Structure formats: C-alpha cells, structure tokens
Amino acid sequence: MEWFEKSKELNDYYVNEWGKVIKNDDQLFEALTLESLQAGLSWEIVLKKRDAFRKAFYDFNINPII
C-alpha cells in the first residue's frame, strides 16, 4: 500500500495537489500554513483538520494579513 492510499484525504491531496505549482497567493498561504502546522503531527491529521483550519484562518485569505 502506498502512503497516499491510507486515507481519502491523503489520496485526494496526492491526486489533486502533490507536486503541482501554486500560483495563487491564498493557496500558497494555505500550503505554507498547513506545512508549519504539520510539525509534530502526521500529514494525514493535518489534512483531516483542514476544514477547521480553513475556518480558523478565514479560508486562508491572505489579504487581511498584507
């Protein structure tokens, strides 16, 4: 079993996002934030909590921060 086949979240991430270039500022902000939140956690846990993180970070809208 490949690492991305362990859960729906990992598989969706692998199929739709893994290795793709990010050109949108909000998507880049989301990726950087999730990567930093991953420290000490598994990537699967972070992806499962992604909706909660989107709510907490206002859908990763970068404009209020700039």
- Residues forming the active site: 13, 35, 43
Q: Which residues of 23-38 are buried (b: 16+ CB within 10 A; e: fewer)?
A: eeeeeebbeebbeeee
- Cβ atoms within 10 Å of 10's Cβ, excluding its own: 19
